Amino acid sequence: MNIVDLNAKPRAGRGRGYRNRLKATGLIPAVVYGKEVGSLPIELGNRDVENILNKGGRNTLISLKIHTGKGRPKKFDTIIKDVQIHPFKNEIFHVDLHQISLKEELTTEVGLRITGHAPGVIAGGSLEQLIWKIEVSCLPRNIPDYIEVDISGLGIGDSIHVADLKAPEGIKFITDEEITVVTVTAPRRAEEAPEEIGEEAEEAAPASETEQ
């Protein structure tokens, strides 16, 4: 996995007014935290963050360069840990970055990608996906873009569990192996025909006085 450069500056202010001033200049508030950097408030370019999320997602490896105006920028290998989205405007509100070591394993979530065509679905069953992400542990450069879930062998009533997934080399699954990923359920029973319902109702009805 390639490492993307991201420029930042230390953030001196806080609060709504300060955040609005950042927004007016195309910036958003963020925090980077880790063993070496501690917890440092920073400013990031909104468009830069959007590009990273759109192209590589949250597991993109980021070389964060913090420009203090004094000497060379400080560099930290990081990954996006959290993104807060404005509930009404659908805008990035705040970003948390986590400092990492490229030589140490980390734990993160990776999306699942369904592939193939299930015979059970072709036969009329329904494919139900119960989870969309799986937690993995690996070196940062080994983080996969996704974990493949091949459903081409699923008949009606069959399921795939985490234990059935194939882990890429260097990847260890952390999610409980008993958890169901996808299953093919049987088609729903067709509703009874109106005439059949009428016949059953007639048989169940009490006898009239003339019949007694």
DSSP per-residue codes, the chain: --EEEEEEEE----SHHHHHHHHHTTEEEEEEEETTTEEEEEEEEHHHHHHHHHHT-TT-EEEEEE--SSSSPEEEEEEEEEEEE-TTT--EEEEEEEE--TTS-EEEEEEEEEES--HHHHTT-EEEE--SEEEEEE-GGG--S-EEEE-TT--TT-EEEGGGSPPPTT-EE-S-TTSEEEEEEPPPPPPPPHHHHHHHHHHHSPPPTTT-
Look at residue 206 in the predicted model and tell me its pLDDT. Answer: 53
Look at residue 23 in the predicted model and tell me its pLDDT. Answer: 84
- 168 and 133 inside one domain: yes
Query: How many independent structural domains does the chain possess?
Result: 2
Domain containing residue 74: CATH number: 2.40.240.10
Residue 207 lies in a domain: no
Confidence of residue 87 (pLDDT cuts 50, 70, 90): confident
122-159 pLDDT tens trace = 999 999 999 999 999 999 999 999 999 999 999 999 99
Residue 51 lies in a domain: yes
- 76 and 125 inside one domain: no
Look at residue 12 in the predicted model and tell me its pLDDT. Answer: 82
Higher pLDDT, 11 or 138: 138
- 53 and 116 inside one domain: no
Residue 24's domain comprises 3-99
Residue 205 lies in a domain: no
Domain containing residue 125: CATH number: 2.170.120.20
Confidence of residue 192 (pLDDT cuts 50, 70, 90): very low
- 12 and 90 inside one domain: yes
- 94 and 116 inside one domain: no
- 82 and 112 inside one domain: no
- 91 and 115 inside one domain: no
